[in-house]
Amino acid sequence: MAKQRSHYVCSDCGTTTSQWVGKCPGCKKWNTLSEELIPDSGKRAHRHQSNSTSSKAKPLATVEVSTIPRLITGETELDRVLGSGVVPGSLILLGGEPGVGKSTLMLQVAFSVSATGHKILYVSGEESPEQVRMRASRLGEVPESLMILPETRVPLILQALEEDEYSLLVVDSVQTLDTPTIDGVPGSVSQIRESVASITSVAKTRGLPVFLVGHITKEGSIAGPKILEHMVDVVLQFEGDWNHAFRLLRAAKNRFGTTSELGIYEMLSGGLKAVENPSDVLLTEAGEPSSGSAIAVSLEGARPMLVEVQALVSTAVYGTPQRSGTTFDLRRLNMLLAVLEKRCGFKLGSFDVFLNMAGGMKIVDPANDLAVVAAILSSSLDLPLDRDVCFAGEVGLSGEIRPVPRLEARMAEASRLGMKRMLVSGHSKLPKSPKGLEVISVKRVSEVHSKIF
């Protein structure tokens, strides 16, 4: 028998090389190449043949669009992020760190989908049925139509799909999938690729939506080849902070909707609970106002929310001052400090600056800049800001305060939460402010100080 040939595949980007090298020529990462046997060319030819019937060009306008409606999962935050429900036949990859609550979220989805009379197949490759049952009983009464299959072998999973009519398939997790005809251990590039490919073809032909749970690596990307992200329709990221109960759900890729929507959950003893009014939980308890804290009116997707920014400016103990922001982009922080120094003469060169967002949320909106500047000023002067003043403005390099989108919605949210004053950019026309909210326009960063203290 002829010796089977092998090649080396990068576990990150899927680049193949004929010889082992330390650094992947594709993504330039180190130590990501591993050896794999090249699949038999006979099998490949067979695969081409079996597909040949469907590959005929036809006018795009004549392509029938499926009229099957989207499957509303009933998990409001998830539905929002997906853009009103799951598209039939779509593959959704849910990535997140261990323990963030991926399996819990999937079970909750299974619960609420089955409540509408659908049958669900939950494939668990990581936990035994007893373990899943134990978690499920914390979430409520376990529905009859939720089927569990402790299996990792793809052909057997596909066979189970043949045996009954399911409306949803959940695979927890994709790294445990095993296609016996392909060489390599579960979790390897070729295994993941082949397993997902066979599940995809079944999902597409039957219009079956599939959730795939995926682990993420230390760097935060989904473990396994990058090509996995290309193979699926939606990539969701579930993230959270260990010290907080909040969990954020975002779409990193969405073929059927936007990627700017954000879902917020809170992990409680009875499972994940949707946070409908994020501002209520993102603001710390009102009490004695303390210096260094300012409220930003942020926008995530379509939702405005009030977030508390906390800064601490203190004399640097060591030679090099520290700048630290666990939930804020450090480069942006350095930029804002440089603007404060250059445009306001505020010398922070010999001070440590720490910055945080209450609730441990990573909210990336340039409109937070103004609140960050206010929090830094407040901490370094040790002057607390009033609890009813809030900010929404982007800071430019020349110290100008730039307007931010959807100001009207932000104002409405600020007013709803009892804010009395809101600082915004004076460079654009202001919408009518809600009753009880005084809108103060500022044009330059140097004006902020006199308006708030």
Q: Which of residues 323-362 bind ligand TYD (CB under 6 A)?
A: none
Contacting range for ligand TYD; rule: CB under 6 A; set: 24-32, 147-155, 268-276, 428-436: 268-276
Q: Which of residues 293-322 bind Mg ion (CB under 5 A)?
A: none
Q: What is the largest CA-CA distance in the chain?
A: 84
Site string for Mg ion, 429-448 (x = CB under 5 A): --------------------
Q: Are 192 and 228 in contact (CB under 8 A)?
A: yes
Binder of residue 99, out of ligand TYD, Mg ion, none (CB less than 5 to 8 A by kind):
ligand TYD
What minimum distance in Å lies between the beta carbon of 307 and ligand TYD?
24
What does the alpha-carbon distance between residue 295 and residue 283 come to, in Å, rounded to a whole number? 8
Question: Does the footprint of Mg ion cover residue 291 (CB under 5 A)?
Answer: no
Question: Does the footprint of ligand TYD cover residue 387 (CB under 6 A)?
Answer: no
Reference 373, options 358, 388, 353; nearest CA is 353
Among 117, 270, 287, 345, binds ligand TYD (CB under 6 A): 270
Question: Does the footprint of Mg ion cover residue 175 (CB under 5 A)?
Answer: no
Tokens representing residue 163 in the block? 């045996």
What minimum distance in Å lies between the beta carbon of 349 and Mg ion?
47
Distance between alpha carbon 118 and the CA centroid of its chain, in Å?
Answer: 27
Which residues make beta-bridge pairs with 34? 9
Give 32 or 103: the residue with its C-beta nearer to Mg ion: 103
What minimum distance in Å lies between the beta carbon of 108 and Mg ion?
13
Contacting range for ligand TYD; rule: CB under 6 A; set: 99-107, 150-158, 225-233, 284-292: 99-107
Binder of residue 49, out of Mg ion, ligand TYD, none (CB less than 5 to 8 A by kind):
none
Give 98 or 117: the residue with its C-beta nearer to ligand TYD: 98
Q: List the alpha helices (DSSP H) in 264-406.
A: 278-282, 330-344, 369-381
Question: Does the footprint of ligand TYD cover residue 269 (CB under 6 A)?
Answer: yes
Among 103, 114, 190, 298, binds ligand TYD (CB under 6 A): 103
Give 236 or 296: the residue with its C-beta nearer to ligand TYD: 236
Binder of residue 90, out of ligand TYD, Mg ion, none (CB less than 5 to 8 A by kind):
none
Per the omega criterion (within 30 degrees of 0), is the bond before 173 cis?
yes
Site string for ligand TYD, 120-149 (x = CB under 6 A): ---------------x--x-----------
Phi, psi of 44 (to 5 degrees): -65, -45
Q: Return all residues near 444 (Cβ < 8 A) that are at least 6 apart.
A: 343, 399, 400, 401
Q: Binding-site residue total for Mg ion (CB under 5 A)?
A: 1
Give 217 or 324: the residue with its C-beta nearer to ligand TYD: 217
Contacting range for ligand TYD; rule: CB under 6 A; set: 55-63, 92-100, 346-354, 425-433: 92-100
Among 11, 90, 103, 200, binds Mg ion (CB under 5 A): 103
Neighbours of 336 (CB within 10 A): 22
Which residues make beta-bridge pairs with 128? none
What does the alpha-carbon distance between residue 450 and residue 453 come to, in Å, rounded to a whole number? 6
What does the alpha-carbon distance between residue 61 and residue 344 come to, in Å, rounded to a whole number? 60
Tokens representing residue 16 in the block? 């193949």
Question: Does the footprint of Mg ion cover residue 176 (CB under 5 A)?
Answer: no
What minimum distance in Å lies between the beta carbon of 3 and Mg ion?
40
Type and span of the H or E element at 452? helix 445-452
What does the alpha-carbon distance between residue 127 and residue 149 come to, in Å, rounded to a whole number? 10
Q: How far is CA 11 from CA 227, 228, 236, 379, in A?
A: 10, 11, 20, 46
Please name the amino acid found at residue 23. K
Residues near ligand TYD (CB under 6 A): 96, 98-104, 135, 138, 267, 269-271
Residues near Mg ion (CB under 5 A): 103
